């Protein structure tokens, strides 16, 4: 994690404000938003890849999550996604294989949600930056159960409806 991670600021309509702040140092003011990403990877068994956050993380240590993170100044959403997935899992993803799902918004962030349909050998995962320390494949029921038991990062914005939409897109692409 870069202590000087500069992020662009946006208004509530996702218009650039022409200002930046340093993440984890500067506090966002009311009406300032950043852009973040989240990737849900689904394999041919219809399982979801989740990773375990390091105990060194300031927020939500040793909790499971779908990977992603903040988009840095000068990056597009997809560029930020690719960088985060490489940093956290050592995976180089092809943006042509990634499908945009939707954008979730809270009081300080727009989160662009994507999914990737791919079989990944978890033994080949390389935790490059140490933010993640383990991965596993889980069913949608296991995913929801982990979330309901408070073992998933609470800011996960992926639900059964998103999962069903992913499976429908996968089915359409196969036909």
CB 161 within 8 A of CB 76: no
**Residue 145, in any domain of the structure:** yes
Strand pairing of 34-42 and 109-117? Answer: parallel
**Residue 19, in any domain of the structure:** yes
**Residue 1, in any domain of the structure:** no
Instruction: List beta partners, residue 22.
Output: 6
Residue range 48-89, pLDDT digits in tens: 999 999 999 988 999 999 999 999 999 999 999 999 999 999
Tell me 27's DSSP state.
Answer: P
Domain count, the chain: 1
Q: Give the predicted TM-score (pTM) of the model.
A: 0.93
pLDDT at 3 exceeding the cut of 60: no
Residue range 129-156, pLDDT digits in tens: 889 999 999 999 999 999 999 999 998 8
CB 94 within 8 A of CB 82: no
Domain span holding position 109:
6-174
Instruction: Look over the chain and give the mean of its residue pLDDT values, rounded to a whole number.
Output: 94
Residue range 66-75, pLDDT digits in tens: 999 999 999 9
Could you tell me the CATH number of the domain that includes residue 107? 3.90.79.10
**Residue 46, in any domain of the structure:** yes
The pLDDT-based confidence of 24 (bands split at 50, 70, 90) is confident
């Amino acid at each position: 994690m870069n202590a000087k991670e500069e992020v662009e600021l946006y208004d509530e309509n996702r218009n650039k404000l022409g200002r930046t702040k340093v993440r984890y140092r500067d506090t966002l003011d009311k009406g300032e938003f950043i852009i973040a990403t989240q990737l849900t990877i689904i394999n041919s068994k219809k399982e979801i890849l989740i990773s375990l956050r390091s105990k060194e993380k300031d927020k939500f240590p040793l909790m499971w999550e779908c990977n992603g993170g903040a988009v840095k100044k000068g990056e597009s959403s997809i560029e930020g996604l690719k960088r985060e997935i490489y940093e956290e899992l050592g995976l180089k993803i092809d943006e042509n294989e990634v499908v945009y799902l939707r954008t979730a918004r809270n009081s300080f962030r727009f989160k662009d949600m994507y999914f990737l349909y791919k079989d990944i050998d978890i033994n080949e995962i390389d935790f490059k930056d140490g933010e993640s320390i383990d991965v596993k494949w889980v069913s949608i029921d296991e995913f929801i159960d982990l979330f309901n038991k408070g073992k998933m990062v609470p800011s996960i914005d992926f639900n059964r409806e998103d999962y069903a939409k992913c499976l429908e897109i996968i089915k359409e692409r196969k036909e």
